[in-house]
Structure 1
Amino acid sequence: MVTAPARTGPYGQCTEVGTIAQETFVLYDCYVTNGYGNTWTWVRSEEGRSLGWVWDKNLQYGGAGERC
């Protein structure tokens, strides 16, 4: 994973709610495909706290494997 913004929704225009640093361990919940055809994954901290939506290009292994 690269340093990436976590957002309120699955679009780059959605509000940034935090930044996840490179090498931070996150849990992948599920993914959605937005109107542009880009996939975004809902991520949680190692402790289970919701962090937000992250563009799959920024995630190791391309994000979640299960659709929301």
Structure 2
Amino acid sequence: MAKKRTRLLAAVLPMIAAAGLVTAAAPAQSATSASGPLGCSHSWSNKDSDYGYVTSGSPLRPGPHSNCGTRATIYPSELLYYHCSIVNESGNGWTHVRLSGTDIQGWMYNGNLDDGGSRDRC
């Protein structure tokens, strides 16, 4: 009897899976994944001609998440040119910026910017 049930299950299971009644769980992605959720890469384009300053010494990051490393520390006297902004998977706003007079660019948390960051979405 058990052998008969096994054969029946082996024959029926592929049909159930094909019908979408059984799904396999996708593997969870790490918060430090380079391109997945909370990753340290995100596309951007230069859509904004605005600029701003930070309210205090603030990290410029390679990605729009606090878990990404720090490229530079930006101080209130340093001018930042805005490119565009996003809201990340955690619901936080970030602006892609370039430090005036340099090629240093990256993501700045909007809460650290004196005017709340770029209004142009990436």
Confirm whether residue 38 of structure 1 aligns to residue 92 of structure 2.
Answer: yes
Question: Which has more radius of gyration?
Answer: 2
Compared CA separation, residues 66 and 48, structure 1 to 2 (3 A): farther
Equivalent residues in 2 for 1:22-37, closer than 5 Å: 22-37=76-91
- Aligned-CA RMSD value: 1.2
Q: Secondary structure at the match of 1:52?
A: strand
Q: Aligned residue pairs: how many? A: 68
Name 2:75's counterpart in structure 1: 21
Q: How far apart are 1:48 and its partner, in Å?
A: 5.9
Gaps of 5+ in 1: none
Q: Distance in 2 between matches of 1:32 and 1:48?
A: 23
Question: Which is richer in helix?
Answer: 2
TM-score by length of 2: 0.52
Name 1:10's counterpart in structure 2: 64
| Per-residue deviation, residues 12-49 of structure 1 (Å, max 9, x unmatched) | 00111111112211101100111111000011122362
Q: Distance in 2 between matches of 1:10 and 1:67?
A: 13
Task: State the identity as a percent.
Answer: 35
Higher relative contact order (CA 8 A, sep 6+): 1
TM-score by length of 1: 0.90
Name 1:58's counterpart in structure 2: 112
